[in-house]
Structure 1
Amino acid sequence: MMDAKLIFDQVSKYYGETDQAVTALNHISFQVHTGEFVAIVGPSGSGKSTLLSIAGLLLSPSKGRVILDQLEVNDLSSKEMSRVRLNKIGFVFQSSNLIPYLTVRDQLLFVAELAKNRTDQADQQAKRLLDRLGLTHRQEVYPDQLSGGERQRVAIARAWMNDPELILADEPTASLDSKRGRDVVEMLADEVRLREKAAIMVTHDERVLDLCDRVLEIKDGQLTQLSYKQVCTTDKND
């Protein structure tokens, strides 16, 4: 059996006071394994963002356990959580969130500096990632000189910079056309499998679901797995 990179064990999240609390997640249990690329779909307000925030250690669950790379994170201090987040999790956002005054190469090296790991090895890692994602010829360019697809490729390279165990992608194709969006998701999927890591992608883009190993649907804070037939039917209806 594949090792689990991420485990949610009966995770619930409530907002507000006890007698008027809003349930964002309701006793969710699932695992993401080594080499697995999982998509999560669902309507707005269904709990997708809350789930991703808890997986990324940006929110704490109200109940249940979260285990990341065999480390139970519930009882970590905020400082310890920041360290785990920096070293074990890579984020890819829908708007890429690149720093406007840094070149493509420096976007990656800034991550190494945050981790106090700016070494020759970090320089080589940045070089390898830029080459792998076809960005070597753009490494001295600033974000406003890049296309949308190039910006997302830089965001993917930056997410891998500290060799994290888990990638979390929040609507990575939202600002891209169909072809560029598919290219970006293919790159994410390829890197996850090549590096034997794991990834969760929250998306509304049903055109890329066939690139994922599993598709989970969240509704009213509860998670179910869609079958291949259900995914295909959804695509066809679109």
Structure 2
Amino acid sequence: MKFFLLTVALVAGLSTIQADQSNATDISSFTAQFSAINHIKDDLQTFTNQQLEKSYDFLLLSSTFDKYELNRPGFEKLYRKISDKAWEDTVGLIKYQSKRGLSVSLDGTQHVVSQLNEGKVGKASLVDSDELSSLKLALGYEKILADESHRIHKKISHAHDKGVAYDPDVAHYLDEEIIEYQSGVIRKLTGYIHNLHSIIEEPKTKDMGIHMFDEYLDKVE
């Protein structure tokens, strides 16, 4: 008898599901969105545009050190590498948001450079940088975007707001694709700044020291 009742209940449940599906005429209700992705869709949109702007900004910065300007191939290589990574992150973020059912609009610049304390307006600090100031600018830029990625991560963390907007899939993506890299490059740039500052403090060997430091960057980057 119990088996018979269970079978009847399952058939009735399946019939209800089929009826519900047959009445679903609005195709827009079927999306890939789930969990708390809508809670941070605007944040991801902004962060994607910041990464896109970063790719152009560091490409511009790298051009300052090419053979026609300061002729520092190591610095040029370093900043072009950061630019390429930002471009890859932009593409990756677009793909990820699409996978999660979001659309992405690349709607202009985010003016990250203007948040840095170089005392210059617009992109001037990018094209007028010397070796040390460019490293400081690069470090400041990375820290701004690292703070942003951490803020988004916190916003969908189980520890934030009693887990109301918890989305472990987004957290995992940020950890693996963004945050781990940011920690590494911030540590690397900090080391470069301290090393180059020590070189510049020796006026008699300053020029040769900067040249050798650039050769080192050209080998390791």
TM-score normalised according to structure 1 size = 0.25
Greater Rg, structure 1 or structure 2? 2
Q: Which protein is richer in helix relative to its size?
A: 2
TM-score normalised according to structure 2 size = 0.26
The structure, 1 or 2, with the larger RCO (C-alpha pairs under 8 Å, 6+ apart) is: 1
